[in-house]
A and B are shown apart, each in its own frame.
Chain A
């Protein structure tokens, strides 16, 4: 495919040149350029990236469009993740679905339940003659979007994993070693106390509490978040995040919050503002938050792996990803799928992966990309940027740490958030809240199972 593309290019550009010259003589060059552009097959790519990331997405599309002249990828921002998914859904129902849509990781179950509406990526690649070697991918990343037997359903586009950011200046002020962030939750508490004693009004906070403090917490300690391999083995899965270990952790967090050692700042990334302003000393956030802090923070800061309870056997296991993947929708023409496959091939090239990893802080999806970035000295020059990859790859993933595959996951996350907030505000005990969250979440899972069984 690739060779075909390269060999085709000179011929086409010669033709274009001829057209150009001819056109300039007859009617001017604009019309011929236009005609050429119109002959391209358009591929719609709907995504939710804004700001600088949106620029990157446009650069990817531009790069692909310039590298060949058969297809034209049109990248369109469709609002937030849920808005993008809804827009794609509404468009598909109306027969105008995009070719590629970016869906956040919690939407994976929803996508899989609509089997007839999606074109699995492994199938797409195979049908269009692209070699597909699962071994070349970082399985901790691709596994989240693959079937149990390793077939990739959607293309992991922007993946990140939670890490710990900390304010080195605040550490120094509290008499702590700025190069020794706490490694375990046991070491954590004394550090928080020292930070508070030094006058910090916000020693610790966490973004995305469900993703970091329950989901990744489970995989890091190699305990199930849900039964049936976290839902990978069937829709009849049940939530299990109310184990004594989970209760212990949430109780610790609640106690810290009561004492002013931890501050709750919101479910999503609202707490970022307080880390950037220097108010919060320790902050847990996705590895993709790197760019925000690199630009906004006016103090020295560092990145470390997430802490774990050292008395738990097997900890630390690997963390899991969040972010989004690219799904291909059904009901498009074969030659359009060919273009989509070619586009994914382009995305996977080591060169593109390295670039994407470096400029965005998202994880690379191939081992080759990681090795290349390392060889280029990027991690040495930007300490901490490889923390995410190391944390993901610390051990090969187990059934408990491959990822999560739950239906109605958007609502389940909200249930978890609500119940955790009930703990933080003192309305419920940690055990009570986690039990309720599991019970409410299971109801949502049963609803999903019922719907899935009908089809």
Chain B
């Protein structure tokens, strides 16, 4: 992965990395270290009293059945968002790819939910599902479904999965389409001449060639579901009912912002940071290998 040809200069490289390192130190490492310090303290909300309590915050966290629950919820939510988002967008991309006309138009019309803020996406879907005037809620009511996502945990999960997936489909779609268009048509034609039907061609040729894109998208989607869906959960379900949609990032925010439990929240931040660093290393190693390859 290393460049064979490089420049020689004693000071220039430091100068070049300086701005980013400075900002990273001041606005990332320093606050992150503060979070680590905070995680072994108990303080009142305004920080007028502060006591060192060792690992008490962590201990409380692991005794809290809802913290384990939050991991489970996060795993379920991320899996659903990744699987649904990827399979729907793959279907759309394959469909768009084999059409001769209209691909560009479809692409343009499918791409823009990417630009919608999670909080706004939440507000929009909340409006669709709102018991009462919400169109979808009304439709389900007419069909005899007892729709109430404020009470039914599965329905609440459904709502946030829909909103979160909706936002991510366009991004996945673009990558899949680009990946598909990069596959040489001659390969597929050769297989067709050999008598392979469209499904066989897809599974034996297209899908394997698409797997790097797929892997990349899995990582991106999981990260998205883990960290960037806060706005969706916050504006739609607020983690409820009965914590059935309380994903990890929401819990960090809730304990810190709503409950003013800074120590507990900081302890969760520390655990999250560890997870993030782990994920980064894994992702990075993978991409390293790929570039090598």
Contacts and interface: CB of A to CB of B under 8 A. Distances in A.
Are A and B in direct contact (Cβ within 8 Å)? yes
A273 B130 contact: yes
Interface stretch (B83-91, B239-247, B272-280): B239-247
B186 interface: no
Contact of B242 (A83, A422, A447): A422
A114 B44 contact: yes
Interface of B, helix, strand, loop or mixed by DSSP: loop
A114 B45 CA distance: 7
How many residues of B sit at the interface, in one of the four size bands?
20 to 34
B42 A454 contact: yes
Interface in A77-93: 82-83, 85-86, 89, 92-93
A454 B49 contact: yes
B241 A117 contact: no
B131 interface: yes
B233 to A, nearest CB: 15
A23 to B, nearest CB: 44
7 tightest CB-CB pairs across the interface, nearest first?
Answer: A117-B46, A116-B48, A455-B49, A114-B46, A266-B150, A273-B132, A114-B44
Contacts of A267: 150, 240
Interface stretch (B93-101, B161-169, B192-200, B253-261): B253-261
A277 interface: yes
Given A410-B260, A411-B259, A455-B49, A421 B132 contact: no
Contacts of B281: none
A265 to B, nearest CB: 6
A89 B38 CA distance: 15
B104 to A, nearest CB: 41
A114 B46 CA distance: 6
B197 to A, nearest CB: 48
Given A273-B130, A454-B42, A455-B44, A418 B49 contact: no
B45 A89 contact: yes
Interface of A: 82-83, 85-86, 89, 92-93, 107, 110-111, 113-117, 263-267, 270, 273-274, 277, 279, 408, 410-411, 417-419, 421-422, 424-425, 447, 451, 454-455
Interface in B149-191: 150-153
A287 to B, nearest CB: 22
A279 B132 contact: yes
A300 to B, nearest CB: 20
Interface in B133-150: 133, 148, 150
B51 interface: yes
Contacts of A421: 150-151, 240-242
A228 to B, nearest CB: 20
A352 to B, nearest CB: 29
A264 B151 contact: yes
A277 B133 contact: yes
B241 to A, nearest CB: 4
A93 B151 contact: no
A85 B133 contact: no
**Which of B42, B46, B261 has the most CB atoms of chain A within a 10 A radius of its CB?**
B46
Contacts of B49: 114, 116, 454-455
Given A267-B240, A417-B240, A418-B243, A93 B46 contact: yes
Contact of A264 (B51, B150, B261): B150
18 contacts: A89-B47, A110-B44, A110-B260, A114-B44, A116-B49, A264-B150, A265-B132, A270-B130, A270-B131, A273-B131, A277-B133, A410-B260, A422-B242, A425-B241, A447-B60, A451-B44, A454-B42, A455-B48
A80 B257 CA distance: 11
B131 A410 contact: no
Contacts of A279: 132
B42 A451 contact: yes
Given A113-B45, A117-B48, A86 B260 contact: yes
Nearest to B42: A451
A451 B259 CA distance: 14
A277 B44 contact: no
Contacts of B42: 451, 454
B132 A454 contact: no
B136 to A, nearest CB: 15
B58 to A, nearest CB: 14
A116 B240 CA distance: 35
Contacts of B152: 425
Contacts of B261: 408, 411
B44 A424 contact: no
A83 B258 CA distance: 7
A418 B47 contact: no
Nearest to B262: A89
Given A82-B258, A410-B259, A421-B151, A110 B240 contact: no
A270 B236 CA distance: 11
Contacts of B44: 110, 113-114, 117, 451, 455
A265 B132 CA distance: 9
Contacts of A454: 42, 49, 51
B242 A418 contact: yes
Nearest to A417: B240
Contacts of B46: 89, 92-93, 114, 116-117
A307 B249 CA distance: 41
Given A93-B47, A115-B48, A425 B258 contact: no
Given A114-B44, A114-B48, A265 B150 contact: yes
Contacts of A425: 151-153, 241
Interface string B257-272: 1111100000000000
Contacts of A92: 46-47
A442 to B, nearest CB: 15
Nearest to B46: A117
B257 A86 contact: yes
A410 B132 contact: no
B231 to A, nearest CB: 14
A89 B258 CA distance: 12
Of B44, B60, B257, which is in contact with the most chain A CB atoms at under 10 Å from its CB? B44
